[in-house]
Amino acid sequence: MAEPPCSGQGSEAILKTENAAVEMYRFAAMMLGNEAEALSLVENTVAAVDVDPCADPCAAKGLVRERVLDGALEIMHRQDPASFADLPAADSGSCLEDDDTALSGTEITELVSGAERAPLRDWLNRLSQAQRAVFVQRAVLGSSNADTARAINRYAKPSIWTAEAVSNLFRQALCSLASSLVHSAPAAQV
């Protein structure tokens, strides 16, 4: 009987790869708002990445994640370049003092796949491409303001996005999401 690849780690590596692909699909679908386009992006990205199945699965996941993010941003910029052309106005009356209130992985999972999935998707569909890109990168990927600005600037012409602009837009998005979820929740029965 033939020995499985990677000294018995083959099935573990395959499972991690499959889980990473599902995670990247969810992320791409949230970024793009189109499940078919997200599936195509993830499939093409995974097929184009040369991954050694015996190598560190986390390194492969990071590479695929980076390429899916780049692909999603390229599509978003192509669909609506004007959305990324202007920085958001400074928000003087935000409902949050800072944007260090990142959602936990559990909260994101509940919003993406739980009972709140439809209201979240409806809310995301009302955002501009830039707002959507900032929210998904910060809340779902956990990217910093600076990393998010750098990612957006790879396609924005001119490259005007700053960590401060991302922070302002992310706080505005969190306030908007909170308001949207409160208004979509069924009224409490007395």
The domains of the chain, with CATH numbers, are 8-79 (no CATH), 82-182 (1.10.10)
Residue 134 vs residue 105, higher pLDDT = 134
- Mean pLDDT of the region 36-52: 85
Rounded CA separation 182/190 (Å): 17
Rounded CA separation 136/120 (Å): 11
Query: How confident is the model at residue 179, as a pLDDT?
Result: 80
C-alpha torsion angle, residues 29, 35, 38, 40 (rounded to 10): 170
CB atoms under 10 Å from CB of 54, counted, come to: 12
Query: How confident is the model at residue 188, as a pLDDT?
Result: 44
Query: How confident is the model at residue 158, as a pLDDT?
Result: 84
Q: Has residue 113 got a pLDDT over 80?
A: no
Query: How confident is the model at residue 190, as a pLDDT?
Result: 42
